[in-house]
Amino acid sequence: MITKWPSPGKLNLFLHIIGRRSDGYHNLQTLFQLLDYGDTLSIKSNQSGEIILLKSLPGVVYEKNLIVRAAKLLRDQAKLYGKLPDLAGATLKIKKRLPIGGGLGGGSSNAATVLVALNYLWNINFSVERLAALGLQLGADVPVFIYGLSSFSAGIGELLTPIVLSNKWYLVIYPNVGINTFQIFNDPNLTRNTPYRQIRDLLLGESHNDCEIVARSHCNEIEQLISWVKPHARPHLTGTGSCVFAEFSTKLLAFQVLSLVPKRWAGFIARGINLSPLYNITVPRFEKKVK
Protein backbone atom coordinates (compact mmCIF):
# COMPACT_ATOMS: atom_id res chain seq x y z
CA MET A 1 0.00 0.00 0.00
CA ILE A 2 1.28 3.47 -0.94
CA THR A 3 1.00 6.06 1.82
CA LYS A 4 1.29 9.83 1.46
CA TRP A 5 3.27 11.85 3.99
CA PRO A 6 3.46 15.64 4.42
CA SER A 7 6.79 17.42 4.38
CA PRO A 8 6.15 20.99 5.58
CA GLY A 9 8.32 24.01 4.93
CA LYS A 10 9.67 26.46 7.48
CA LEU A 11 10.67 30.07 7.84
CA ASN A 12 13.53 31.40 9.93
CA LEU A 13 11.86 34.40 11.56
CA PHE A 14 15.37 35.52 12.52
CA LEU A 15 18.85 34.04 12.28
CA HIS A 16 21.72 35.30 14.41
CA ILE A 17 25.24 33.91 13.96
CA ILE A 18 26.90 33.83 17.37
CA GLY A 19 30.30 32.47 16.36
CA ARG A 20 32.23 29.93 14.32
CA ARG A 21 33.34 26.69 15.93
CA SER A 22 36.67 24.94 15.47
CA ASP A 23 34.95 22.21 13.40
CA GLY A 24 33.74 24.79 10.87
CA TYR A 25 30.11 24.81 11.98
CA HIS A 26 28.46 27.98 13.27
CA ASN A 27 26.72 28.52 16.58
CA LEU A 28 23.46 30.35 16.00
CA GLN A 29 20.15 31.45 17.42
CA THR A 30 17.11 31.16 15.19
CA LEU A 31 13.35 30.81 15.36
CA PHE A 32 11.74 28.14 13.20
CA GLN A 33 8.17 28.78 12.12
CA LEU A 34 6.57 25.72 10.51
CA LEU A 35 4.23 26.31 7.56
CA ASP A 36 1.02 24.68 6.35
CA TYR A 37 2.67 24.44 2.91
CA GLY A 38 5.20 21.93 1.67
CA ASP A 39 6.07 18.82 -0.30
CA THR A 40 4.34 15.44 -0.27
CA LEU A 41 6.14 12.08 -0.19
CA SER A 42 4.55 8.88 -1.45
CA ILE A 43 6.15 5.91 0.28
CA LYS A 44 5.62 2.20 -0.19
CA SER A 45 7.49 -0.33 1.94
CA ASN A 46 8.35 -3.64 0.29
CA GLN A 47 10.59 -6.70 0.51
CA SER A 48 12.94 -5.78 -2.35
CA GLY A 49 15.89 -4.91 -0.14
CA GLU A 50 16.31 -1.75 -2.22
CA ILE A 51 15.65 1.98 -1.73
CA ILE A 52 14.07 3.14 -4.98
CA LEU A 53 13.51 6.83 -5.70
CA LEU A 54 11.14 7.56 -8.57
CA LYS A 55 11.70 10.72 -10.64
CA SER A 56 14.81 12.06 -8.94
CA LEU A 57 15.19 15.84 -8.94
CA PRO A 58 17.22 17.32 -11.82
CA GLY A 59 20.88 17.76 -10.92
CA VAL A 60 20.63 15.76 -7.68
CA VAL A 61 22.68 12.55 -7.75
CA TYR A 62 20.88 9.52 -6.29
CA GLU A 63 23.57 8.75 -3.71
CA LYS A 64 23.59 12.36 -2.43
CA ASN A 65 19.82 12.84 -2.33
CA LEU A 66 18.77 13.47 1.27
CA ILE A 67 15.65 11.34 0.80
CA VAL A 68 17.74 8.33 -0.20
CA ARG A 69 20.39 8.98 2.45
CA ALA A 70 17.72 9.20 5.17
CA ALA A 71 16.12 5.91 4.12
CA LYS A 72 19.45 4.10 3.96
CA LEU A 73 20.63 5.53 7.27
CA LEU A 74 17.49 4.38 9.07
CA ARG A 75 17.59 0.97 7.36
CA ASP A 76 21.24 0.40 8.30
CA GLN A 77 20.72 1.49 11.91
CA ALA A 78 17.64 -0.69 12.28
CA LYS A 79 19.47 -3.71 10.86
CA LEU A 80 22.40 -3.07 13.17
CA TYR A 81 20.10 -3.43 16.17
CA GLY A 82 18.17 -6.37 14.75
CA LYS A 83 14.96 -4.42 14.16
CA LEU A 84 14.68 -4.95 10.41
CA PRO A 85 15.05 -7.94 8.06
CA ASP A 86 17.65 -7.84 5.27
CA LEU A 87 15.00 -7.64 2.53
CA ALA A 88 13.31 -4.50 3.90
CA GLY A 89 13.01 -1.92 1.15
CA ALA A 90 10.94 1.05 0.02
CA THR A 91 9.85 2.98 -3.03
CA LEU A 92 9.83 6.75 -2.63
CA LYS A 93 8.31 9.49 -4.78
CA ILE A 94 8.14 13.20 -4.06
CA LYS A 95 5.74 15.89 -5.18
CA LYS A 96 7.92 18.99 -4.91
CA ARG A 97 6.56 22.43 -4.09
CA LEU A 98 9.32 23.86 -1.90
CA PRO A 99 12.05 25.39 -4.11
CA ILE A 100 15.59 24.04 -3.87
CA GLY A 101 17.95 26.61 -2.36
CA GLY A 102 15.08 28.79 -1.20
CA GLY A 103 15.77 28.55 2.53
CA LEU A 104 12.44 26.85 3.29
CA GLY A 105 14.04 23.65 4.57
CA GLY A 106 12.72 21.41 1.80
CA GLY A 107 15.59 18.92 1.78
CA SER A 108 15.76 18.71 5.57
CA SER A 109 12.00 18.32 5.84
CA ASN A 110 12.02 15.58 3.19
CA ALA A 111 14.71 13.68 5.09
CA ALA A 112 12.78 14.03 8.35
CA THR A 113 9.56 12.81 6.76
CA VAL A 114 11.33 9.75 5.36
CA LEU A 115 12.79 8.91 8.78
CA VAL A 116 9.43 9.32 10.53
CA ALA A 117 7.46 7.49 7.84
CA LEU A 118 9.75 4.48 7.47
CA ASN A 119 10.18 4.22 11.23
CA TYR A 120 6.39 3.76 11.26
CA LEU A 121 5.96 1.65 8.12
CA TRP A 122 8.86 -0.66 8.92
CA ASN A 123 7.64 -0.90 12.53
CA ILE A 124 11.09 -0.07 13.89
CA ASN A 125 9.78 1.97 16.82
CA PHE A 126 12.85 4.14 17.34
CA SER A 127 12.09 7.01 19.74
CA VAL A 128 11.73 10.56 18.45
CA GLU A 129 15.01 11.44 20.18
CA ARG A 130 16.78 8.67 18.34
CA LEU A 131 15.30 9.73 15.01
CA ALA A 132 16.39 13.30 15.70
CA ALA A 133 19.95 12.12 16.42
CA LEU A 134 19.98 10.27 13.09
CA GLY A 135 18.54 13.32 11.37
CA LEU A 136 21.32 15.51 12.75
CA GLN A 137 23.79 13.36 10.82
CA LEU A 138 22.02 14.47 7.65
CA GLY A 139 21.66 18.17 8.43
CA ALA A 140 21.32 20.65 11.28
CA ASP A 141 17.71 21.52 10.39
CA VAL A 142 16.42 17.94 10.20
CA PRO A 143 15.65 17.50 13.94
CA VAL A 144 13.16 20.38 14.06
CA PHE A 145 11.07 18.67 11.40
CA ILE A 146 11.30 15.33 13.21
CA TYR A 147 10.08 16.84 16.47
CA GLY A 148 7.50 18.71 14.41
CA LEU A 149 7.18 21.82 16.55
CA SER A 150 7.84 25.47 15.82
CA SER A 151 10.92 26.04 17.93
CA PHE A 152 13.68 28.33 19.07
CA SER A 153 16.99 26.79 18.05
CA ALA A 154 20.53 27.22 19.34
CA GLY A 155 23.89 25.47 18.94
CA ILE A 156 24.27 24.47 15.28
CA GLY A 157 20.49 24.09 15.19
CA GLU A 158 20.09 20.96 17.29
CA LEU A 159 19.19 22.57 20.66
CA LEU A 160 15.44 23.07 20.39
CA THR A 161 12.92 24.78 22.63
CA PRO A 162 9.26 24.60 21.48
CA ILE A 163 7.63 27.99 21.00
CA VAL A 164 3.92 28.66 20.52
CA LEU A 165 3.66 31.35 17.86
CA SER A 166 0.62 33.23 16.63
CA ASN A 167 -0.72 31.77 13.39
CA LYS A 168 0.15 34.64 11.08
CA TRP A 169 -0.13 34.63 7.30
CA TYR A 170 3.00 34.83 5.19
CA LEU A 171 3.64 35.81 1.61
CA VAL A 172 6.70 33.88 0.42
CA ILE A 173 8.39 34.83 -2.85
CA TYR A 174 11.03 32.79 -4.65
CA PRO A 175 13.15 34.76 -7.16
CA ASN A 176 13.70 31.60 -9.22
CA VAL A 177 17.36 31.39 -8.21
CA GLY A 178 18.75 29.28 -5.38
CA ILE A 179 21.47 30.11 -2.87
CA ASN A 180 24.18 27.65 -1.80
CA THR A 181 24.33 27.38 2.00
CA PHE A 182 28.02 26.47 1.92
CA GLN A 183 28.84 29.70 0.06
CA ILE A 184 26.93 31.84 2.55
CA PHE A 185 28.49 30.30 5.66
CA ASN A 186 31.99 30.49 4.17
CA ASP A 187 31.76 34.07 2.97
CA PRO A 188 34.40 36.17 4.80
CA ASN A 189 31.92 39.05 5.07
CA LEU A 190 29.36 37.04 7.05
CA THR A 191 28.71 38.51 10.50
CA ARG A 192 29.76 35.92 13.07
CA ASN A 193 29.72 37.87 16.33
CA THR A 194 26.09 38.80 17.01
CA PRO A 195 25.72 38.82 20.81
CA TYR A 196 23.94 35.89 22.47
CA ARG A 197 20.51 36.88 23.84
CA GLN A 198 17.88 35.18 25.97
CA ILE A 199 14.83 33.79 24.20
CA ARG A 200 12.48 36.28 25.85
CA ASP A 201 14.60 39.23 24.73
CA LEU A 202 14.75 37.89 21.18
CA LEU A 203 10.99 37.46 20.99
CA LEU A 204 10.25 40.92 22.36
CA GLY A 205 13.04 42.92 20.74
CA GLU A 206 14.48 43.56 17.31
CA SER A 207 16.00 40.67 15.42
CA HIS A 208 17.38 40.06 11.94
CA ASN A 209 19.01 37.54 9.61
CA ASP A 210 22.79 37.82 9.61
CA CYS A 211 22.89 36.02 6.26
CA GLU A 212 20.78 38.61 4.44
CA ILE A 213 23.52 41.10 3.55
CA VAL A 214 25.75 38.33 2.21
CA ALA A 215 22.91 36.73 0.23
CA ARG A 216 22.02 40.08 -1.32
CA SER A 217 25.63 40.59 -2.36
CA HIS A 218 25.72 37.13 -3.95
CA CYS A 219 22.46 37.53 -5.86
CA ASN A 220 21.20 40.76 -7.42
CA GLU A 221 17.76 39.16 -7.92
CA ILE A 222 17.35 38.93 -4.12
CA GLU A 223 18.31 42.60 -3.84
CA GLN A 224 15.64 43.50 -6.39
CA LEU A 225 13.05 41.30 -4.68
CA ILE A 226 13.62 42.85 -1.26
CA SER A 227 13.36 46.33 -2.77
CA TRP A 228 10.07 45.38 -4.44
CA VAL A 229 8.52 44.04 -1.24
CA LYS A 230 9.45 47.04 0.94
CA PRO A 231 6.60 49.37 -0.14
CA HIS A 232 4.05 46.65 0.69
CA ALA A 233 5.41 45.06 3.89
CA ARG A 234 8.61 44.45 5.82
CA PRO A 235 10.71 41.90 3.89
CA HIS A 236 12.76 39.14 5.53
CA LEU A 237 15.16 36.59 4.11
CA THR A 238 14.62 33.04 5.40
CA GLY A 239 17.62 30.99 6.47
CA THR A 240 20.50 30.96 4.03
CA GLY A 241 18.21 30.68 1.02
CA SER A 242 16.85 33.07 -1.56
CA CYS A 243 13.18 33.21 -0.54
CA VAL A 244 11.89 36.48 0.88
CA PHE A 245 8.83 36.55 3.11
CA ALA A 246 6.54 39.14 4.63
CA GLU A 247 4.12 38.78 7.51
CA PHE A 248 0.42 39.71 7.34
CA SER A 249 -2.37 39.69 9.89
CA THR A 250 -4.96 38.36 7.41
CA LYS A 251 -5.02 36.02 4.43
CA LEU A 252 -6.75 38.68 2.33
CA LEU A 253 -3.96 41.21 2.77
CA ALA A 254 -1.36 38.60 1.88
CA PHE A 255 -3.22 37.63 -1.29
CA GLN A 256 -3.61 41.27 -2.31
CA VAL A 257 0.18 41.68 -2.39
CA LEU A 258 0.66 38.26 -4.01
CA SER A 259 -1.53 39.41 -6.91
CA LEU A 260 0.99 42.20 -7.59
CA VAL A 261 4.12 40.02 -7.64
CA PRO A 262 5.96 40.28 -11.00
CA LYS A 263 5.60 37.20 -13.16
CA ARG A 264 9.34 36.52 -13.19
CA TRP A 265 9.08 35.47 -9.54
CA ALA A 266 7.06 32.65 -7.93
CA GLY A 267 5.01 33.31 -4.81
CA PHE A 268 2.64 31.53 -2.48
CA ILE A 269 0.67 32.17 0.70
CA ALA A 270 1.13 30.01 3.79
CA ARG A 271 -0.01 30.12 7.37
CA GLY A 272 2.27 29.56 10.31
CA ILE A 273 1.54 26.41 12.32
CA ASN A 274 2.95 25.18 15.61
CA LEU A 275 2.44 21.45 15.04
CA SER A 276 3.63 19.51 12.00
CA PRO A 277 0.97 17.63 10.00
CA LEU A 278 3.12 14.52 10.58
CA TYR A 279 1.49 14.40 14.00
CA ASN A 280 -1.84 13.64 12.36
CA ILE A 281 -0.43 10.31 11.18
CA THR A 282 1.95 9.17 13.92
CA VAL A 283 0.70 10.71 17.15
CA PRO A 284 1.73 7.71 19.32
CA ARG A 285 5.29 8.05 18.00
CA PHE A 286 5.57 11.66 19.17
CA GLU A 287 4.42 11.75 22.77
CA LYS A 288 7.73 12.97 24.22
CA LYS A 289 8.51 16.66 24.43
CA VAL A 290 11.60 18.37 23.15
CA LYS A 291 14.11 18.84 25.95
| Residues placed in the known binding site for ATP | 99-109
Phi, psi angle pair for 73, to nearest 5°: -65, -45
| Single-letter code of the amino acid located at 161 | T
* Cα separation, 174 vs 134, whole angstroms: 30
Residue 153 β-bridge partners: 30, 160
Is 210 one of the catalytic residues? Answer: no
Known binding positions = 99-109
Give the active site residue among 36, 44, 95, 141.
141
By C-alpha distance, which of 37, 30, 38 is closest to 12? 30
The dihedral of CA 131, 135, 136, 137: what is its sign? positive
Do 110 and 7 touch, CB atoms closer than 8 A?
Answer: yes
Please enumerate in sequence order all residues whose Cβ is within 8 A of that of 103, keeping only pairs 6 or more positions apart, or say none. 12, 179, 237, 238, 239, 240, 241, 242, 243
Is 10 one of the catalytic residues? Answer: yes
* Cα separation, 69 vs 112, whole angstroms: 11
| Single-letter code of the amino acid located at 250 | T
| Single-letter code of the amino acid located at 98 | L
Return the active site residues. Answer: 10, 141
